[in-house]
Structures are given as C-alpha cells and as structure tokens.
Amino acid sequence: MLPRRSPKPRSTPLATFVVFTAAGRRFALPTRRVVAVAEAPELTPLPAAGRPEVLGLVAHRGRALPLFDLGRCLNGSPRTEDRGPLCVVVGHGERRAAFLVDGLEGLARAPGPELPPGCETFDPTEVILGGAPGEVP
C-alpha cells in the first residue's frame, strides 16, 4: 500500500493594486480598474460644473475626461501639494474619469479581496456619478 499524500494547501490568489496618495492618505485600486497613471495634462476649466470636486476636462487618448480632485471628493479639502500633480485614469466599461492625486507609490499585491497594508480604497464609479465615496465591495 502506498502512503497517502496530504492534499496541497490551496494558496489564495494574489490581486494587484495601483497604490497612490491623496489628501494625506494611501489608496489602492485594483489594476483592472486603472487605465493609466500620468502627469496631469492641460486642464480645460468647466466654470459651471456645479460640483466643486470637478476641476474641468483633460484629454486622454483622444477623449475628454472629467478631472476630479480626489481630496475634495473624500473630505472636501482641495489638493495642496507643491509637487507636480499626477492623475489616475480609471475605467468602468466605456466610462472613464481622471482623479488628481498627490503621488504614486507603485504596484502592490495582496491576497484575495484584501488591500495592501496601510491602504484604503474607494469606488470611483460612485464619485463619478456624484455619490459619496464608499468602499469597493
């Protein structure tokens, strides 16, 4: 009789996140939601946008995208960093939007639905549609 082997423990698949800072906090979004990270391009102001967190429109790959100040979206405080601004372009289906952030930390991996240590997240779709930012389920 051959010895019985114990089954190999299944490892939890790792998810990859883009990690960035905004409003003094660390955020992580799944890479499947991030289209690009780039220096903030030239802004076309929208004086009558009706939402103070919408700074205007930026061009990205031939499309005009709304540019949101993530600090204002999260806690009402506008971005105050002196460094050159970056924007994280997110997508959901055909919808796209850009978020002004303070800095990019890079990519991080975490098991399953967990976030990288010290990070929080938000649902960009809620922000784009005008709701209060909440956690991604």
- Can you give the pLDDT at residue 136? 35
Stated pTM of the model? 0.78
pLDDT computed for residue 55 by the predictor:
86
Residues 116, 97, 32, CA angle at the centre, nearest 5°?
40
Domains of the chain as residue ranges with CATH: 15-129 (2.40.50.180)
Q: What is the pLDDT of residue 112?
A: 76
Q: Which residues of the chain have pLDDT under 50?
A: 131-137
Residue 132: the pLDDT is 43
| pLDDT given for residue 108 in this prediction | 95
The span from the CA of 35 to the CA of 71, in Å, is 20
State the pLDDT at residue 78.
63
Matching residue, tokens 């990288």: 116
Tokens of residue 23, six digits:
């409003």
Q: Facing residues of 57 across strands?
A: 44, 66
